[in-house]
Amino acid sequence: MGYAANEPIERWLSRETPEEVLEPDLPIVDPHHHLWDIRPFATEPYASFEQKVYLCEEIVDDIRRSGHNVLQTVFAQCGAFYRAGGPPAMRCVGETEFVHGIFAMSNSGIYGDTRLCTGIFGSADLRLGAKVTEVLQAHMAASPNFRGVRTAFPSDLNDDFMQGYAQLGKLGLSFDNWSPDFDRLPTLARLAKANTDVTVIVNHLGGQIDPSAPPDVQARWRAGIDAVAACPNTVMKCGGGQMRVGEWEPPYHMHQRDVPMGSEALCEVLFPYYRYVIEAFGPDRCMFESNFPVDKECVSYRTLWNLFKRIAARLGLGESEKAAIFAGTAMRAYRLPDLVE
């Protein structure tokens, strides 16, 4: 039984004509999705998200209905189920505790063959400097699937932050980052160069993707992509180009269209952006991601992975390149178990 709070988005998605699943046997690792119950949240960005409840059964339903061969997933930090009390710096560990419970549910096999949350990245305030080690170790104790953090970075890369960031390398953890402001990418490149033992994972094509952006804005985005791609310890998540950012909504958002766009139409609009990052990083440093349920406001899970498969075909990717961008890169970057058959 679904949640009443989810009805508007489910009703909108139900208006699409389901597409035939492309390459249904292709193994997929979804390296970026959220889980939450944000019904009580009144602050942004949570208040505006249309999918109010997204837990184990909701993502399993999306994956099952999609018809794609999703073998495992990675949970992405989103501020879910923080501890209500205790030291403020440690409250974020509640998110990892919650997600490990979802992993245990999935690992039972009751919810199907897909293994959810075999990788987890959460949050920690790296401005604590070396003291953040206690927080990171608490995450690792809460789940053996914990792989790193996603957080912002200061523009000046000050000493306190850099000392905290260095702890990631010492513990073998990764650093995920996303900002809609792609002008921050050159600074992210500086950060990657400063600690080459930390894998930097750039989320959502590096920033807000507006297909109607003027040429000078697109040129700045490309320059930022090039700066980060030049660092060999960086990888790119190819997704999130379908999402709303703040009050800005793309033309394929559910508030802008009565019926969802299909994968062919989305490919025509978004292909130049995906092509640029995949050619800049190479398929072995790229991974397609769902960014669900955020991107669900614009596209169904089935149509989204069809879009990615159309992009791969249009680029002429070979079998080994597809194996990397759909699963292998994510498995390497997040040190996931080998479930690919």
Domain residue limits, the chain: 15-333
Segment (H or E) for 239: none
- Helices within 108-249 (DSSP H only): 132-142, 159-171, 185-194, 215-229
CATH 3.20.20.140 describes domain 15-333: yes
CA gap 5, 163 in Å, rounded: 43
* pLDDT tens-digit readout, 56-105: 999 999 999 999 999 999 999 999 999 999 999 999 999 999 999 999 99
What is the distance between the alpha carbons of residues 177 and 327, in angstroms, rounded to a whole number? 20
* Residue 341: band (very low, low, confident or very high) from pLDDT cuts 50, 70, 90: very low
Report the predicted TM-score, pTM, of the whole model to 2 decimal places. 0.97
Please state whether beta strands 53-54 and 36-37 pair in parallel, antiparallel, or not at all (unpaired). antiparallel
Cβ(203)–Cβ(255) below 8 Å = no
pLDDT digits (tens, 9 = 90+) for 9-55: 999 999 999 999 999 999 999 999 999 999 999 999 899 999 999 99
Q: How far apart are CA 120 and CA 125, in angstroms?
A: 17
